[in-house]
Structure 1
Amino acid sequence: MSKRDYYEVLGLERSASERDIKKAYKRLAMKYHPDRTKGDKDFEEKFREIKEAYEVLTNAELKARYDQYGHAGVDPQMGGGGGGHQDFSDIFGDVFGDIFGGGGRRQSRAQRGSDLRYNLELSLEEAVKGKNVEIKVPTWVSCETCDGSGAKPGSKPQVCSTCHGQGQVQMRQGFFAVQQTCPTCHGQGKIISDPCSSCGGQGRVQKNKTLSVKIPAGVDTGDRIRLAGEGEAGAHGAPAGDLYVQVHVKEHAIFERDGSNLYCEVPIGFATAALGGEIHVPTLDGKVKLKIPSETQTGRMFRMRGKGVRSVRGGIEGDLICKVVVETPVNLTDSQKELLRQLDSEMEEGSAKHRPKETGFFDGVKRFFDDLRS
C-alpha cells in the first residue's frame, strides 16, 4: 500500500518550519498515542504513521532527501536510510518525557556516517557498453589504529557516569519530565579518557579511498549506482553511509540518445538525393549500408532497427534513426555553375512536375495576396 505524504499526515504545508512540525506532532501524538487508545489497531497504525513522518521531517538530512525524492529518498530498502524502526517510547519520550508512564528514555546511538555522491562522466560508447572504472573519493574512514572505537589501543571507552550510558538525562519541571542531551558525554553514552592518537578520539580519519566501480551497460544521464557502506564512516564505530555514483553521459559528436534510440544527421549529395544510391552510415558497432531512394527530400528519416541501445533496465535494443540532409554544393567552378544553370533552365519548363513543393508554395503565396486585394 502506498504511503501518504508526510506533510499531509501532520496536516502541514511543505513550507512548515521545524517548530510547526513539532507542534503538529505533539498535538496528534497526544490524541493517538497507544497509552491513550488502549489497543485500538486503527489508532495504533495512525500513531505509527504520525511518528514516522515526525522522524523524517525533523531530521535535516532525511527531510532534504524526502523533499527532493519523496518516500524513495528515505526508504531503507531503496537506499534512503530513513528511520521507522524506533518503538513508540523512543520518539514519544523525546517530546513528552514520561507523561504517560512509559519513561521514554533511550540509549544514544552513534550517528550513521553521511552518504556521499560522486559525479562520473562517461562517453556514449562507455555508457552503452559498460565498463569498470576506478574512482578516488575523499572521505572519512574507520580508524585502523583503534578499530573505530576512538580509544587508544589497550584501553576502551568507559560508560558515562552522568547518564549511565543513556546519552540523555532527565530534568523534571513540575508535571513534565524533560529529556536533554547529556552534557558530560554529549549524547554518546561513553567517555574516552585516553583517546587514540591517530584519530583524536573520533574513531575515524580522513582519507582518499580508491574504489572499483562496475558500470552496467546501458546507463544514461541521471542514473546512479549505489555502493552500500562506501560513504563516510560514522563517528565512534557507527555504520558508514552509502556512496552514490551519479552518471553523466557527455555529448557525442555524431549521435544523440533518447532512451533506447539513437539519432544522427547524415548529409547526402544533391545527385544522390535526386537519383538515389547507397551510402555508408555510422553505428556504434561500425559502418552499415543505407539505401537512399530516388527523389529523397532533406529531412527524411530512415530507421535502422536494432542499431540503438539496450537500456540498463532491460528490454530489446532500440533503433538508429538517420535524418538525411541534402547538402547544397559549394565552391563550384565556372563550368559546374554553367551545368547547373542549364539544368535549372530545362526544369523551368516543367517546374510543377520537377519542383512540386516550390511551385505549390508560390502558388499559395499568390492566392494569399489575391485574397488580400479582393
Structure 2
Amino acid sequence: MADNDGIRSDWVNKDFYAELGVAKTATADDIKKAYRKLARANHPDSNPGDTAKHEKFKKVAEAYDVIGDPEKRKKYDEVRSLYAGGGFPGGFGGAGFGGRSTYGNTGGAGAGGYNFDDLFAQATAQQGGAGGGGFADMFGDLFGGGRSQRRVRPQKGADIETTATVGFVDALEGVTIQLRLTSDAPCPDCNGTGGKPGTKPHVCNVCGGQGSVIQDLGGFQVSETCPACGGRQVVYDEACPTCHGSGRGLSGRTISAKIPAGVKDGQRIRLRGKGAVGEAGGPNGDLFVVVKVTPHRVFSRSGDNLTIDVPVSFDEAALGSEVRIPTLGGSPVTLKVPAGTPNGRTFRVRGRGVKKADGTSGDLLATVEVQVPAVLSPEAREALEAYRAATGGKPLREGLFDTAASEAASA
C-alpha cells in the first residue's frame, strides 16, 4: 500500500536490488539492463502456464518500479538504511513500541517509553522541521499514524520491449504493423485492491492496519509483510474472483506501430507513450521494438546499398557480354561485362539501392560469379581441349613456386 510521498510500508522487508540481481551501487543503466533481461526471460507471453515465472515477472516489475525511478529509489534506500541502522528505537514493533514480539498491533507507548507522536515530533525537531514535512510526513504512514495525507505523485509507466519480424521489402519501404502487447497491470475488475467489486475493506486484524508484523526469531525480531493483508493494511472478506486477491493482472492490447523505411535487421525503434500505463495520471512508458528482417532470396543489404550475385558463363566472362539483371521494385538493367572479367568482380549500378532519409538512394552492387559447367557435351569438351592446347605455353602457377622459394630463403 502506498504511503506518504509514494513510500510503501513493506519496503523494509523487500530487497529489490537482490530481486534484480544488482548491487546497491548499481547505475541506472545497470538496473534497466537487469530488468529487461529478467522481464524477457519471465514474461507470461513467453512462458504460458508457468506460474512460477509469472510470479517472478511481477516481482521483477515491482522492483524496477521502485529502484528504476530515481526519486523512489532514494526514499527506498533511506527507509532501508534507517531500519538497518537501528534508526527506530526498539526496532519495528519491538519492546520500544508496545513491547510485542508476535503478530499484532504495534501502536501506542510501550515498555521502552516511546510513543509514535513523541518519536515523530522528536525526529522532526532534530531535522529542523516544524509542523508538516520532514521526518513525520515522510515516514508517518509507514506506521499507520501519519500526520498528513499527501496525494500520490504521478509516475511514468514502465517501458516495454518486444520483437517484430518484417519482410525484406517492407523494411526498405516502411510498413505499419499490428502488435499484440501484454504487460503487468492492476486487475481491471478490482482496480488493484484485491477485493471483490462492490465490497468494502476493513482494517486487517492481524497487523492492526500496519501492513507488517513482528516475528520473534529467538533473540532478535524482524519485521515482515503481514501474511493476511500482504502489506495493504486492509483486507476484504471476499477476494476478487478475477485476480484471486492478488490485485494484479495482465493487460492485453493491440497497437499500430509504424516501422520507418530503411530499418535494419536488429535495429531498436522507440515508440513514445506506447508502453505501460502510468500511475496516478502519470505518462505512459515507451515501447521499444526490436526489428527482425527476413532475408531476401536474391538481394542482400550492405548499408544503403543492395547487393546481388550475378552468375555468368566462362565464355561471357572471357569474351565479354551484356547481361540483364533484376532490380528491387524496378525495371531490369543491362550490365556490360568487359572481356577478361575475373570471377568476383563487382559492378556498381547507381541509384538502385536503399532509399535514404534525404530522398536519395544507395547503389546496387552486382558481383560476377563465373560458373563452371559440371557436364560437358562432346563438342564443348573438344573446344576446351583445343583452348588448352592453344594456351598451354603459359603456366598460371609458375609464380607460386618462385614466390614460395624466395620466402623460404629469406626466412
TM-score normalised by the shorter chain: which range applies?
Answer: 0.5 to 0.7
Alignment RMSD (CA, Å):
5.1
Cα distance change on mapping 1:82 and 1:140 into 2, 3 Å? closer
C-alpha separation in 2, matches of 1:248 and 1:344: 50
Distance verdict in 2 for CA 1:168–1:278, change over 3 Å: farther
For residues 43-82 of structure 1, the aligned pairs below 5 Å read: 53=27, 61=35, 82=68
Give the letter for the 1:123 counterpart. G
- For the residue of structure 2 that corresponds to 1:342, the secondary structure is helix
331 and 87 in structure 1: CA distance in 2 versus 1, 3 angstrom threshold? closer
Aligned to 2:139: 105
| Matched residue, 2:387 | 343
TM-superposition CA deviations, 1:10-41 (whole Å, max 9, x none)? xxxxxxx959x99x96xxxxxxxxxxxxxxxx
1:133-185 Cα distance to aligned partner (Å, 9 max, x none): 223445556544445554433345567688898756799xxxxx987545553
Match of 2:401 in 1: 365
The residue that corresponds to 1:133 in the other structure is 177
Aligned pair 1:272/2:303, yes or no?
no
Q: What TM-score, normalized to structure 1?
A: 0.60
Structure 2: distance between partners of 1:182 and 1:55:
33
Match of 2:346 in 1: 301
The one of 253, 262, 268 aligned to 1:218: 262
- Alignment partner, residue 46 of structure 1: none
Gap regions ≥5 residues in structure 1: 1-16, 26-49, 66-78, 172-176, 352-357
Taking the aligned partners of 1:330 and 1:59, their CA distance within structure 2 comes to 54
Counterpart residue identity of residue 86, structure 1: K
Q: Secondary structure at the match of 1:94?
A: helix
What are the ranges of 5 or more consecutive residues in structure 2 without an aligned counterpart?
1-16, 40-64, 89-122, 124-134, 143-151, 216-220
Aligned equivalent of 1:334, options 375, 378, 397: 378
Residue of structure 2 equivalent to 1:93: 79
* Structure 1 SS opposite 2:170: helix
Q: Is the 8 A contact 1:18 1:58 kept in 2?
A: no
How far did residue 116 of structure 1 move? 5.0
**Is residue 250 of structure 1 aligned with residue 284 of structure 2?**
no
> Structure 1 residue 298: deviation in Å?
0.7
> Normalization by structure 2: what TM-score?
0.56
Q: Give, as a single letter, the amino acid of the residue that structure 2 aligns with 1:187.
A: G
Q: CA contact under 8 A between 2:278 and 2:284: conserved in structure 1? A: yes
Q: Distance in 1 between matches of 2:29 and 2:311?
A: 59
Residue of structure 1 equivalent to 2:48: none
Per the TM alignment, residue 228 of structure 1 is displaced from its structure 2 partner at its CA by 5.8
| Counterpart among 307, 310, 319 of residue 363 in structure 2 | 319
**CA distances 1:313-358 after superposition (whole Å, capped 9, x unpaired):** x785433222111122343221122222223333445x4xxxxxx6
- Aligned residue in 1 for 2:12: none
Give the 3-state SS of the residue equivalent to 2:390 in structure 1.
helix
Contact conserved, 1:96 with 1:178, CA < 8 A, in 2? no
Closer, same or farther: CA 88–162 of 1 in aligned 2, 3 Å: farther
Residue 248 of structure 1, CA deviation: 1.5
In 2, Cα distance between the equivalents of 1:89 and 1:62? 23
Q: 1:292 to 1:367 in 2, by over 3 A?
A: closer
Distance 1:307 1:136, change over 3 A: same
In 1, the alpha carbon distance for the partners of 2:176 and 2:188 equals 28
Q: State how 1:200-239 maps to structure 2 within 5 Å.
A: 200-206=244-250, 209-226=253-270
Other-structure match for 1:259 = 303
Structure 1 CA distance for aligned equivalents of residues 290 and 225 of structure 2: 37
Say how many residue pairs are matched: 305
Partner of 1:154: 198
